[in-house]
Structure 1
Amino acid sequence: MQHTGDHDQRSGKRKSIGKRKLPDQETSQPPSQRTLSELLSKNKHAYESLPSSSSPVSKRSRLSVSPSRRSPAPAVSPNKMYNFSGSPPKNGNAFVRALPGQSTVSVKGQPLNLNNSRQPNFGPNVSAKKLVVKNLRTAPRGNNEPYFDRIWQQLDKALTEIFDGQKPSSSLEELYKGAENICRQGRATLLAKNIQDRCKEYVSDKVRNNLVTRAGGGNDVDTLRTVNEAWSSWYSRLILIRWVFYYLDQSFLLHSKDLPMIHEMGLAQFRSYVFADTILKPKILQGACDLISVDRGAETKVIQDTGLLRSSIDLFHNLDVYNSDFEPLFIASSKTFVSRWAAAESEKPLASYVENSDRLIDREVTRCGLYTLNRSTKQKLSELLDEILLAEHEDLLLRENEVIGLMRAENNIALKKLYGLLSRRNLGIKLKSAFGNFIKEEGSSIVFDEQHEADMVNRLLRFKKQLDNTLSDAFDGDTDLGNTLRDAFGVFMNLGKKSESTGGTDNPKTGEMIAKYVDRLLKGGLKVVTPGQADAPLDDSFSEMRRQLDQVLDLFRFVQGKAVFEAFYKNDLARRLLMNRSASDEAEKEMLVLLKKECGSSFTHNLESMFNDMDVARDEMSAYNSMQKQLDRSKRSPMDLNVSVLSAASWPSYPDVPVQVPPNILGVLRNFETFYNSKHTGRKLTWKHQLAHCQLRARFPKGDKELVVSSFQAIVLLLFNDVAEGDSLAYSDIQEQTGLSDPELKRTLQSLACAKYRVLAKNPKGKEVDPTDQFTYNPNFTDPKMRIKINQIQLKETKEENKSTHERVAADRNYETQAAIVRIMKSRKTIKHSELIVEVIEATRNRGTLQPADIKVSIEKLIERDYMERSEGKTYKYVA
């Protein structure tokens, strides 16, 4: 649309009236220069009415007025014609009012006002009217070529100044307006091509030639630095160029399919004419790789420059050559570097290789983030490190002797890094072999160490704690390795070999030692195994006792055959109950609850019966003491008596040890028998004097003492009441009067004359008792304590008792094995040897894993006793 109008000198604004040709108008009449009032007066019959409009009007719309060529229409009153408010016009004046943002035309002799923005008074039911004046023709368009040439010369000069690093002489606003006007004239394509040609000329000639010249006199890093400087300079110029031609960039190039935007054009030209140059490109890429090599610690003449490396990576990203050119070269150089590094490090110990490999991977990954390398580069580099450091050196990482050495040294830091490296390729599970073998090797050395047998459980607890720490800290609680730990513990904990300590049987030693450990714990005389600290005295609190019981039960769960533990625990419990040596009744009952949870009620049935017997015995003694109080003083017992009546079925079997009880004590015992038989008929009491203990009042010149001794010790000491001062008793005399066997008498005399408390004197002196020795009362005995316990001999298990317990357990196991074989044969009738072995092992698993050789011995015994017979093809047949 072409605009015509006059210039207002005061405001500098241009008021314009547009001409527009309608389809049904004639085109021969020239444009009218008359006033709008004359046009409206002359052609008022051409308008019958004005349509109302409520649609919005474009910002570029103008009020168009042109003479009408249509045939006259019926006359309409002006007052009615220009009534927009729905009410009669006042004073005969009519107004034409545009929508908001348009000019207003006053008709019928009133002055023309196009800037009045006063809103019309609309009626409640009448919309605004719009006046449309037609038939204004458009003037022919003039020649804009001179204007383009003049503006381009101005823009070209500005480009030259920008390329030279100077500030344009013309203002940016003037340059921007000129470029905008050219675009509005439809010359945007030509303008864009001219800009592209000028930039190409500058980049391809001046910039590239300068860089090529400077590249010939420096190394690759120097070339990279000059290219980075040139890129930075070009990028700043490109931004200024885009500012000048921003209208072209956003209104034309943004939607163009053939021409790139200014920013993209600048990047493409620098990439095509500078980076892709056959001389510059290899130097640029190699320079970046050299900087990375220096950052990796390579010894070269190149000085480390992190800023240059970071800007170089940004350059590759901006030019969009990172993935196509830089990344392949970087990965190739990284492969060469890592291969050489791994070859040199593989000669060092495993701990050093693992630690350095972990540090290398961390540095490489950190570098990717520090210098904004792509995620694809980080992934490829990670895969490269895994391939070279792990896959190619897997044998080194899994070298069993070195892995076991790290475990033995408790080097959890190195083990954690080793596991972390292997886990990068899901190879952590391959540590199972070394981990399991280490546990079996170390555990077996603890179990079969006879010199430190008494400390076995403490060492096993510390070993278990060490493995738990290794599993959680170094191996991140790996489930497979945790299963390996339990399986390996279950193997060595159930190993056994024939030795003197096991009575010539192959019973596992762990069950016996765990039972003795619990015995010392429940007596309150054990030291606590505190993780990470030295042994500390045991806390008397029940919570600490419970913690220790839970700790030892962790070992007990690995014991497959509980028969050995049961036998020894039963013996020790009997001693604690009879000697009143338990530190806490609550702890004893708590241990029973724990064992019941682990092994079932059948396992603890006899143990619970032992506690019931002690309760019944207390009731019996209460009744006996009440009866004694009702007697006359002359008929009362001269000494206090406490008897525990036990059922033989629940308690351990104790052999009868012959001994001659002094008459005064024997009379008291018979009184109790009479009382007990009066209450219970059909029962017989068997006295177990070897389990009894006594309290004696002894008089010494240096002070009276109260001695707590065993029954055998008391019987021996009472003999010296009838010996004159200074006289002695020979060993043979003591044996004759007490009736004790040599082993029992020697142990008793040794505890009285050769131990810590020497209430008797032996002649000749020595630690061993011989049949030729003489014994006398020791008048020089002294001790700061008033009450002295010397009955420790009863609390210790003899070698004979230990041997007999193992033999009894082995015999019971043989009987159970034979019973299992008979049950299987009775149900199967005929079975092969291999199948019988498997079924017997499975049937007796809860009592411990049997060896095939032991099962074969039981089979031979059953064949001899005609329970089964051999058949063809290694088959057995049941004999009914």
Structure 2
Amino acid sequence: MDQDQTPIALEDGWRDMEAGIARLKRILHGVDGTSFTSQEYINLYTMIFNMCTQKPPYDYSEQLYKRYKQALEEYIKSTVLPSLKSKHGEFLLRELVERWKNHKVMVRWLTRFFHYLDRYYVSRKLLLPLKELGLSCFHDLVFGGLKTTLTTIVIDMVDNEREGQLIDRALLKDVVGIYLEIGQGSVGLYELDFEKAFCKGTTDYYSKKAQIWMLEDSCPEYMLKVEDSLQKEKERVGHYLHASTEEKLLEGTILELISWRAEEILYKENSGCRVLLLDGKYEDLSRMYRLFSKIDAGLFHVSKIFKEHVKEEGMSLLKHAADAANGTKNEKKEAVGSPEQEFVRKAIELHDKQLAYVTNCFQNNSAFHKALKAAFEDFCNKDVAGCTSAESLASFCDSILRKGGSEKLSDEVVEDTFDKVVTILSYISDKDLFVEFHRKKLGKRLLFDKSANNEHERSLLSKLKQYFGGQFTAKMEGMLNDVSTARDHQTAFEEYMRDKLPNHRVDFSVTVLTTGFWPSYKTSNINLPSEMIKCVEIFKDYYNSKQKSKRLTWIYSMGNCNIVAKFDAKPIELIVTTYQAAMLLLFNGSERLSYSEIVTQLNLPDDDAVRLLHSLSCAKYKILNKVPSNRIISPNDVFQVNHKFIDKMRRIKVPLPPTDEKKKVVEDVNKDRRFSIDASIVRIMKSRKVMGHQQLVAECVEQLSRMFKPDIKIIKRRIEDLISREYLERDLETANTYRYLA
């Protein structure tokens, strides 16, 4: 400004400014055009500029700052407040939004006119910037008095929307925007004046709804409504709320709909979690998982019910097997095999079904895998119809691997079944007992040519080895290799026989076994008939010519013979054991033989003699006649060939009475366990040198639990035995502590 220019008086200048403000009001109301011209804007800006840059005492910056605020307050009091006073509900919101838009336009133009004041005076005096001052005026005079009413109206509108009514979402977004804009980028005002009350209104709404839904709806219907509500609340945030509200809004909704009612939902009569599991409701269970994963310990409670369900289903299978074994329940026609084999088949089906829940419904969550494992470990380690689960599983495998043991299964089904067998075995603590039973049955299949498929035998061993380690299957792999090698021996032996004894009339085959691989079989020095002795001697000569460093031990109890018996009606081929054959061949030289004569000539123990004579004279096929003719074998009995014997078949198998092999297997396993415990204790003490009793027992249990669950009392006895054998000694200075003796 030129030095000789006359200063602008405050009132004169403000009069022009008032004219500009009046023009602005008319523009806002659509009365006087839509905007200022460039010249009008420049004139007003220049006037304010001049009034702020005049030398004291004509610098009116302070007065203009105050009048800026007064002008806004006057506009609000004269125009805005009266227009809002007569409005209610949604109409109040619309009016407020409109007035807020006008207010922002007014503030924007005035701050442009007073820009110089904002740049220098406000910043120098550290005053509230003009824009913020304008927003503050609206908050203090308008918003502060209405915010409670506004929040109530918004909550009512949202509740109406939750009830299915259509509302003006754009209007709500604009109203919520006012909270945020007045806060100038901060959500503090929004959270304090709106969000807190809105979230409270939401929890109140869903608290009432939860009570109604729980009474009226089934568990699946309730969960469907909960999931739908959560999804809509999430969408609601996207439509007209601030993003920061989502977490709090969902948290409150989840609290009311799930957390407070978790037990009611899970145990709801006729439709709770257990019922969903029983009915195979995959979609509902998936929804339950999704909902309960949102609350603390929610999945723990679901997994607990899942575990109880699986355990109860397993116990039901055990009861069914026991009922079937006792004959108290009619077996279904489709049931295959013994009750214990049927139990294994049903257990595999149960595992498939429950694993499908874990995979498809519970997203492979580790808590559900642990629950499944714990439940199966619980019932799979109980006896099945008088048999251990280990024996039942071995019998089940035998039914698949034995010729004629089960229905014809494709290779793919067999492979899949073996995978599932290995899984079930992983739940059984006495895995070594399974190995021994399986080895015993494998031996019979291999020695009596009852194995249906050699590749299936190896496949199962491969899976067992992969899962439990090479030590688990080493002996059984050796058995398979022995049989393969024995075939080569037999081929070579037959060529040897043709060369040495071309006119020999007896077909004779031998299977050479490696002692360490096979189960222990009963041996006795039975006096064989001359025909058999000749065959044995020939094979000895052959084998000694091939293997000079190895000694043969003959196990006649595992041998089989086919002999032709000439009865009056017709000759019949008898399939008998070596012992039975030796006994029958005695009658080629004598028509009648007493019990004592038979025992003496064969050099048989009494228990073997009784079993053999019972099978030939008192069982299904009475090849011999017994005097007296009862079913009890006694030392005074006399036997002779039953020439009148007849059967419609030309070839029959004469079975021996069954023996209790289970007892022998258990004894062998217990003996092996003692060795394993000894080895484990020595191995641990050798590395530690000194160790407390509790720590030694715990580490021993941990080492051995992969194969069996050792009894603590037996471990204690084995420690005492090792002390007596001077592998260990008690520490004289420290109680319950052992030292390793090198």
1:259/1:861 CA distance change after superposition, 3 Å: closer
TM-score, reference length from structure 2: 0.68
2:42 pairs, out of 164, 180, 188, with 180
2:148 pairs with 1:286: no
Deviation at 1:454, TM superposition (A): 0.7
Deviates more, 1:334-343 or 1:143-152: 143-152
In structure 2, what is the equivalent of residue 211 of structure 1? 84
Please tell me whether the aligned partners of residues 188 and 252 of structure 1 are also in contact (alpha carbons under 8 angstroms): no
1:416/1:750 CA distance change after superposition, 3 Å: farther
Per-residue CA shift, 1:331-376, capped at 9, x if unaligned? 22223223333444556766555554444333323322222x2244
1:777/1:679 CA distance change after superposition, 3 Å: same
Which amino acid is 1:652 matched to?
P
In structure 2, what is the equivalent of residue 626 of structure 1? 495
C-alpha distance in 1, partners of 2:722/2:147? Answer: 92
Which amino acid is 2:511 matched to?
S
Per-residue CA shift, 1:44-86, capped at 9, x if unaligned? xxxxxxxxxxxxxxxxxxxxxxxxxxxxxxxxxxxxxxxxxxx
2:202 pairs with 1:339: no
Deviation at 1:194, TM superposition (A): 7.1
1:591/1:353 CA distance change after superposition, 3 Å: same
Deviation at 1:209, TM superposition (A): 2.1
2:666 pairs with 1:806: yes
Number of aligned residue pairs: 667
In structure 2, what is the equivalent of residue 105 of structure 1? none
Stretches of structure 2 lacking an aligned partner (at least 5 in a row): 52-62, 184-188, 325-338, 567-571, 589-594, 624-630, 634-641, 729-734
In structure 2, what is the equivalent of residue 322 of structure 1? 190
C-alpha distance in 1, partners of 2:394/2:558? Answer: 22
1:555 pairs, out of 424, 440, 448, with 424
In structure 1, what is the equivalent of residue 92 of structure 2? 227
1:356/1:618 CA distance change after superposition, 3 Å: same
Please tell me whether the aligned partners of residues 493 and 539 of structure 2 are also in contact (alpha carbons under 8 angstroms): yes
In structure 2, what is the equivalent of residue 77 of structure 1? none
1:652/1:281 CA distance change after superposition, 3 Å: closer
1:312 pairs, out of 175, 189, 199, with 175
Which amino acid is 1:212 matched to?
K
1:775/1:512 CA distance change after superposition, 3 Å: farther
Deviation at 1:306, TM superposition (A): 3.6
Which amino acid is 1:286 matched to?
T
1:206/1:476 CA distance change after superposition, 3 Å: same
Please tell me whether the aligned partners of residues 567 and 809 of structure 1 are also in contact (alpha carbons under 8 angstroms): yes
In structure 2, what is the equivalent of residue 457 of structure 1? 344
Which amino acid is 2:26 matched to?
E
Which amino acid is 2:398 matched to?
D
Per-residue CA shift, 1:517-570, capped at 9, x if unaligned? 33344458788xxxxxxxx964336xx765544443233333333331122121
Which amino acid is 1:515 matched to?
A
Please tell me whether the aligned partners of residues 522 and 555 of structure 2 are also in contact (alpha carbons under 8 angstroms): no
C-alpha distance in 2, partners of 1:331/1:684? Answer: 88
C-alpha distance in 2, partners of 1:628/1:261? Answer: 120
Please tell me whether the aligned partners of residues 526 and 538 of structure 1 are also in contact (alpha carbons under 8 angstroms): no
Which amino acid is 2:504 matched to?
S
Secondary structure of the residue aligned to 1:686 is coil
In structure 2, what is the equivalent of residue 513 of structure 1? 392
2:30 pairs, out of 145, 165, 172, with 165
More helix by share: 2
Please tell me whether the aligned partners of residues 402 and 450 of structure 2 are also in contact (alpha carbons under 8 angstroms): yes
Identity, in percent, stands at 22
What are the residue-to-residue correspondences of 1:87-486 with 2, within 5 Å?
140=5, 155=20, 158-159=23-24, 161-168=26-33, 172=35, 175-186=37-48, 200-213=73-86, 215=87, 223-234=88-99, 237=102, 247-248=112-113, 252-253=117-118, 257=122, 261=130, 267-277=135-145, 281-297=147-163, 304-320=167-183, 322-345=190-213, 354-371=223-240, 373-389=241-257, 391-393=259-261, 395-396=263-264, 403-404=273-274, 406-428=276-298, 430-431=300-301, 433-446=304-317, 449-450=321-322, 451=324, 452-486=339-373
C-alpha distance in 2, partners of 1:337/1:492? Answer: 46
1:574 pairs, out of 420, 439, 443, with 443
In structure 1, what is the equivalent of residue 482 of structure 2? 613
Please tell me whether the aligned partners of residues 637 and 668 of structure 1 are also in contact (alpha carbons under 8 angstroms): no
Deviation at 1:177, TM superposition (A): 0.9
TM-score, reference length from structure 1: 0.59
Which amino acid is 1:849 matched to?
K
Per-residue CA shift, 1:399-447, capped at 9, x if unaligned? 6996555545554544444444444344256346545544544445545
Per-residue CA shift, 1:113-143, capped at 9, x if unaligned? xxxxxxxxxxxxxxxxxxxxxxxxx875697
Deviation at 1:644, TM superposition (A): 1.4
1:620/1:309 CA distance change after superposition, 3 Å: same
Per-residue CA shift, 1:851-872, capped at 9, x if unaligned? 4577799999999x9x99xxxx
Deviation at 1:288, TM superposition (A): 0.9
Please tell me whether the aligned partners of residues 253 and 259 of structure 1 are also in contact (alpha carbons under 8 angstroms): no
C-alpha distance in 1, partners of 2:11/2:480? Answer: 122
C-alpha distance in 1, partners of 2:7/2:547? Answer: 143
Which amino acid is 2:85 matched to?
V
C-alpha distance in 2, partners of 1:328/1:693? Answer: 93
Deviation at 1:484, TM superposition (A): 4.9
C-alpha distance in 1, partners of 2:487/2:47? Answer: 122
Please tell me whether the aligned partners of residues 419 and 475 of structure 1 are also in contact (alpha carbons under 8 angstroms): yes
Which amino acid is 2:448 matched to?
M
Deviation at 1:688, TM superposition (A): 3.2
Deviation at 1:292, TM superposition (A): 1.2
1:180/1:332 CA distance change after superposition, 3 Å: same
Stretches of structure 1 lacking an aligned partner (at least 5 in a row): 3-137, 216-222, 503-508, 528-535, 699-705, 723-731, 755-759, 761-768, 783-787, 869-873
Which amino acid is 2:196 matched to?
P
Which amino acid is 1:166 matched to?
V
C-alpha distance in 2, partners of 1:232/1:178? Answer: 28
Please tell me whether the aligned partners of residues 176 and 244 of structure 1 are also in contact (alpha carbons under 8 angstroms): no
Instruction: Give the root-mean-square deviation of aligned CA atoms.
Output: 6.1
Secondary structure of the residue aligned to 1:636 is coil
Please tell me whether the aligned partners of residues 624 and 672 of structure 1 are also in contact (alpha carbons under 8 angstroms): yes
C-alpha distance in 2, partners of 1:259/1:403? Answer: 61
Per-residue CA shift, 1:198-252, capped at 9, x if unaligned? 6544442344224323x4xxxxxxx232233324443564576578768526555
What are the residue-to-residue correspondences of 1:662-681 with 2, within 5 Å?
672=539, 675-676=542-543
Which amino acid is 1:165 matched to?
G
1:574/1:775 CA distance change after superposition, 3 Å: farther
Per-residue CA shift, 1:656-677, capped at 9, x if unaligned? 6999999878866665466556
C-alpha distance in 2, partners of 1:231/1:683? Answer: 108
Secondary structure of the residue aligned to 1:849 is coil
What are the residue-to-residue correspondences of 1:45-84 with 2, within 5 Å?
none
Please tell me whether the aligned partners of residues 268 and 319 of structure 1 are also in contact (alpha carbons under 8 angstroms): yes
Per-residue CA shift, 1:663-711, capped at 9, x if unaligned? 878866665466556767895663636543659999xxxxxxx999666
Which amino acid is 2:78 matched to?
D
Please tell me whether the aligned partners of residues 713 and 752 of structure 1 are also in contact (alpha carbons under 8 angstroms): no
Deviation at 1:290, TM superposition (A): 0.6
- Point out the structure with max Rg over C-alpha: 1
Deviation at 1:458, TM superposition (A): 2.9
Please tell me whether the aligned partners of residues 398 and 405 of structure 2 are also in contact (alpha carbons under 8 angstroms): no
Which amino acid is 2:411 matched to?
D
